[in-house]
Amino acid sequence: MDTQGSDPTSLFSAQPGKPCRACTDFRSWMKQQGSLQGASKSGKEGEEKNSSSQNNQKDNTNASSSASGSTLNGNVKSATVDPDDTDVPLTGNAAKYGCPADSLSLGRGSWRLLHSMAAYYPEKPSADQQKDMSTFITIFSKFYPCQPCAEDFRDWMKKNTPDVSSQKGLSRWFCEAHNEVNRKLEKPLFDCSLVNERWRDGWKDGSCD
């Protein structure tokens, strides 16, 4: 559910006019936050600290940087956050527990869930199971936290009805949906013939054993 853009005033924003974290990658979200809070007290204090740090003697600056680096590295080393969820160092509770999802971590987590659900879907589902899966996909497309992503997914579904007839059909359908996103983002496409190795059985070379 990656997106090529973001809408700072999305209906899914926490407050009107605030950036939508779930619609934006972490770095862009931080930049948006900074632009909105540029005149705030915390922003001024940060500028004063940076200015003061730059004017200090080099020895004091190096000592301070060294101490700060040691603390930061310690926090990151003890973090339990999936390294895929962020590409920036985290400190404090963020290092221990992570932060609210941005568009990238939300997309990765969502695809893991959807592909895994399809992988364990019955090969011969009952009529009720097929109905339930169709309903789930429809509801998922309506409440996915990134509004532009959700709209894009719904548009794709209008021309590509979910195949809930079998495990093989559903797994391939989600694979093709994912590849559509990859195609738009100019990312490599996944070979959908390997979807069960990727999400259910493990690779034939035994690397997942």
Q: Which residue has the tokens 């990312």?
A: 187
| 3-state DSSP helix/strand/coil % of the chain, to nearest 5 | 65, 0, 35
Give 60: exposed, middle or buried? Use CB within 10 Å, 0-12, 13-18, 19+. exposed
Q: Where in the chain is the domain with CATH 1.20.120.310?
A: 103-201
Q: Give per-residue pLDDT as tens, 34-61.
A: 766 654 555 555 555 555 555 554 444 4
Q: Give per-residue pLDDT as tens, 170-188.
A: 999 999 999 999 999 999 9
Whether the Cβ atoms of residue 167 and residue 122 lie closer than 8 Å to each other? yes
Structure tokens at 65: 């940087």
pTM metric for this prediction: 0.63
Measured between alpha carbons, how far is 138 from 131 in angstroms, rounded to an integer? 11
Structure tokens at 194: 């390997």
Q: Which amino acid is at 70?
A: S
Measured between alpha carbons, how far is 132 from 125 in angstroms, rounded to an integer? 10
Least-confidence region, from 7-11, 112-116, 133-137, 165-169: 7-11
Q: Give per-residue pLDDT as tens, 70-102.
A: 333 333 333 344 444 455 678 899 888 888 988
CATH 1.20.120.310 is right for the domain spanning 103-201: yes
* DSSP output for 102-165: -HHHHHHHHHHHHHHHHHTS-SS--HHHHHHHHHHHHHHHHH-S-HHHHHHHHHHHHHS----S
Average pLDDT, the chain: 75
